[in-house]
Amino acid sequence: MISVPLDRKTIEDMIDGKLDKRELYKIIAGRKDPERFKMVIEIFQSRVKWKEKILLPLSEHLFIVNKNGKPIVKCSCGYEFGDYRINWKFKARVFVRDTRETIEEIYKKYMGSHPDWMELREYYCPGCYTLLEVEAVPPGYPVLFDFLPDLKTLYEDWLGEKLPCEDVKFEDKSIDYLKEEIMKKKPTKV
């Protein structure tokens, strides 16, 4: 079994995908040390140019950060997606592969999905055009909200710390956002 706590180098290698499978398995299946979360945040923080404090990493490039007391989603390039309770995908650039031609750009013939049954939605950062997320869903399926964490519970009950930003109500605000955006558009006359 791997020794805990893990040193910073091991965690950096894990984040960079440099660990071999056996080591990675030991970390996944092994004990967790209480300092691990802090160290992961530190590593990510040291890699971004902006100053806002990272509250929680969402993926390799996306983070929930403390922007003037408000928790928002921010890309490693600096692009801001806004309130973390609104699905960040609404503000991302999207490319949908829903035809044979586009699917066969990345899959060999007959090796990809059938466009009638499944489409691939690729979400890119408008700031740096990094591919942030890919959804594989049936056509017409609503945009997935991957992860809506309860920050207050995480910080106060799990980590035993004070929430380092404003205490915003834990709720999914994506629908409200969509409503607002739709209302902003002028209704078209039929």
Partner 1 sequence: MGKGVLRILANRGDLMAKRFPEVFAIDTGGTMTDAFIVDKDGNFAVGKALTTPENESIGILNSLSDAIEEGQWEISLEEAVSQLKTVVYTGTIMLNRIVGREGLSPLGVITTAGFEDVLRFGRGRQAWVEYPYSERIHSASHMFPEPIIPREYVRGVRERILRSGWVMIPLYEKDVEEATEFLLDKGVKAIIVCLLYSFANPEHELKVYEIAKEVMRKRGTEVPIVLSHKINPVLGETGRLNSVVLQVYAAEPSRAQLRMLRDKFRSLGSRASIRLLTSYGTTVSPEHERLIMTLTSGPTGGLIGTKFLGKTYGIDYLVGTDVGGTSFDVGLVVGGEYPILPETSIHRFIVNIPMIAVNSIGAGTGSYARIDPVTQALKVGPDSAGYRIGVSREDGGVDTVTVNDACVALGYLNTEYFLGGKVKLNKKRAIDALKEQIAKPLGIDVYDAAQGVVDYICLEMREYLRAAIVGLGFSPENFHLLSYGGGGPVLVAKYCKGLSFQGIMVPSWAAAFSAFGAAMADFGIRRDISTEIVLPGWRFFDLLKVGPTPELPVGPEELRGFAATTLNGEWEKLRGEVIEEMKAEGLDPERAYFKPMARIRYWGMLDDFEVESPSFPITPEGVNELCKRFDEVFERIYVRGAKSPELGYEVTRAIMVGVYPTIKPKLPEFELEKEEPEESAYKGKREMYWEGKWLEADLLEMDLVKPGNVIEGPAIIEAPATTYVIPPEYSTYLDRHKVFWLIPPGVSKSKYMGR
| Number of residues counted as binding partner 1 (CB under 8 A) | 11
1: part of which helix (H) or strand (E)? none
How far is the C-alpha of 75 from the C-alpha of 21, rounded, in Å? Answer: 28
Residue closer to partner 1, measured from CB, 34 or 139: 34
Choices 17-25, 73-81, 83-91, 103-111 (CB under 8 A): range interacting with partner 1: 17-25
Contact status: 111 vs partner 1 (CB under 8 A): no
For residue 108, give both structure tokens.
Answer: 């060999």
Q: Closer to partner 1 by CB, 29 or 182: give it.
A: 29
Residue 163 binds partner 1, judged by CB under 8 A: no
Using the contact rule CB under 8 A, the part of the chain among 25-33, 60-68, 134-142, 163-171 near partner 1 is 25-33
- Determine which residue in the list 4, 106, 131, 137 makes contact with partner 1, applying CB under 8 A: 4
Indicate the residue among 35 and 172 with the shorter CB distance to partner 1. Answer: 35
Percent helix, strand and coil across the chain, each rounded to 5? Answer: 30, 20, 50
**What is the Cα–Cα distance from 72 to 54, expressed in whole angstroms?**
10
Helix (H, G, I), strand (E, B) or coil at 82: strand
24 lies in the site for partner 1, by CB under 8 A: yes
Query: Which residues, 6+ apart, have CB-to-CB distance to 129 below 8 Å?
Result: 93
Question: How far is Cα 62 from Cα 102, in angstroms, rounded to an integer?
Answer: 26
Judged by CB under 8 A, the residue of 7, 8, 16, 33 near partner 1 is 33
Rule CB under 8 A: choose which of 31, 47, 114, 162 binds partner 1. Answer: 31
Instruction: Note the Cα 105 to chain centre separation in Å.
Output: 25
Contact footprint for partner 1 (CB under 8 A): 1, 4, 21, 24-25, 28-29, 31-34
